[in-house]
Amino acid sequence: MPYWRLSGFYFFFFASLGVLIPYWSLYLQHLGFSALEIGQLVALLLATKIIAPNVWGWLADRSGRCMPVVRIATLLAMLIYAVVFWIDSFWGMALLMVGFSFFWNASLPQLEATTMKHLGDRADRYGKIRLWGSVGFIVLVLGVGPLLDRYGPAVILPVLMSCFAGIWLVSLIIPEGPGTGPNAQGRLLGVFRRPEVVAFLFACFLMQASHAPFYTFFSIYLDGHHYSKTVIGALWAFGVICEIGIFLVMHRIFRRVSLPAVLAATFLVTALRWAMVALFPRYLTLMVIAQALHAVTFGAYHATAMQLIHRVFQGAHQHRGQALYSSMSFGVGGALGSFYSGYTWEHLGPVATFAIASALALVGAALVWIWIRPVFAAARV
């Protein structure tokens, strides 16, 4: 198994997220965009995940090879992003973000499918490869924070360009995964229509919709409460350090606790986390605790979702199964979440925005318990 080559892709991909998630909204604010405009722009960045993974997943399934798709997508993302140095208008930025993210968002689901094929019957070890993405996120989020304090938000542009170049270069040396094995039974639409699959994808949608205010406005929220950029970066990094810890032990948890039970717990902890962020932003200790919960709200959640996707979408459906998961959660959920949070942030304020996010997570927990648990109650890895 090409452990380090796969890990290298995750490192650079999530390093780019270590710039985009905490700091991109600060750069947009630096350009003079309002909270509503920032929410709309981030929604566009995520909206391409609705279409792009499915288009590229279809191509990968049809050709039986996904690494050429990943290489082309990452190259085009890098080339389109290079125009950012000359963009400062709202519509120019909107077109740019749609352009590069259409290709950038296409690459990760295909790499995820390749990783799972390389792992084979060792799928529970996914976290030990994926954790290098978390390491990349930490390196960039800690490194860029002090640079922002010293040089201002424009410094993120060349840093992000370097990350995109790293993604493309690593993709060139990753081998194609083993064959998909026995053909999946039935058409993809038949799998998608199963009630537990619909419920699972809708729960994933709710999880990402609840995270959207955090990803879009958390840095602005802390900045408004007089946290330095260095402290903001450190808080982001701490959350991802906790995420790494959970990735290292998830294979042991899966052997003792059913997948639906873990999934339901992640939704409940998410609701608690957003309530803490809404009510206690001025208390650094509580913000540290809230960030520690990222281990559960992202790390445990994503590792569990990957296991369920791997079980539900078999054989030739693997690439499009990953694409559907990415589209419904990070795409539709992230885009609509960013859109509503931009509106509520502007008109209702931060507390109401995070309260809505908490409520969405509670609805997701009920959905998992009522619809998903009965079908996968005994599922362990």
Q: Where along the chain do its domains lie? A: 3-176+186-376
- What's the token pair of residue 230? 């260095």
- Write out pLDDT tens, residues 219-228: 889 989 989 8
- Write out pLDDT tens, residues 54-91: 776 667 666 666 788 889 889 999 999 999 999 989 99
Q: How confident is the model at residue 183 (pLDDT cuts 50, 70, 90)?
A: very low
- CA 214 to each of CA 101, 166, 348: distance values in angstroms, whole numbers, following the listed order: 20, 27, 16
- Write out pLDDT tens, residues 347-363: 999 999 999 999 999 99
Selection from 2-11, 93-102, 320-329 with the highest mean pLDDT:
93-102
- Write out pLDDT tens, residues 154-169: 888 999 999 999 999 9
Is CATH 3.30.70.980 the classification given to domain 3-176+186-376?
no
Mean pLDDT of the residues in the chain: 84
Task: Please answer whether residues 115 and 126 qualify as being in contact, where contact means their C-beta atoms are separated by less than 8 angstroms.
Answer: yes
User: Between these two residues, 178 and 301, which has the higher pLDDT value?
Assistant: 301
Written as one string, the DSSP assignment of 30-43 is HTT--HHHHHHHHH
- CA 34 to each of CA 26, 29, 30, 37, 325: distance values in angstroms, whole numbers, following the listed order: 11, 7, 10, 5, 31
Q: How far apart are the first and last CA of the chain?
A: 20
Q: How confident is the model at residue 233 (pLDDT cuts 50, 70, 90)?
A: confident
pLDDT of residue 108 exceeding 60 = yes
Q: How confident is the model at residue 314 (pLDDT cuts 50, 70, 90)?
A: low
Selection from 23-37, 122-136, 325-339 with the highest mean pLDDT:
23-37
Interior angle at CA 376, CA 375 and CA 377, nearest 5: 100
pLDDT of residue 294 exceeding 90 = yes
User: Between these two residues, 214 and 68, which has the higher pLDDT value?
Assistant: 214
- What's the token pair of residue 274? 């957003």
Q: How confident is the model at residue 185 (pLDDT cuts 50, 70, 90)?
A: very low
Q: Comparing 234-243, 260-269, 278-287, 302-311, which segment has the lowest mean pLDDT?
A: 302-311
- The Cα 365–Cα 368 span in angstroms is 5
pLDDT at site 320: 66
pLDDT at site 177: 67
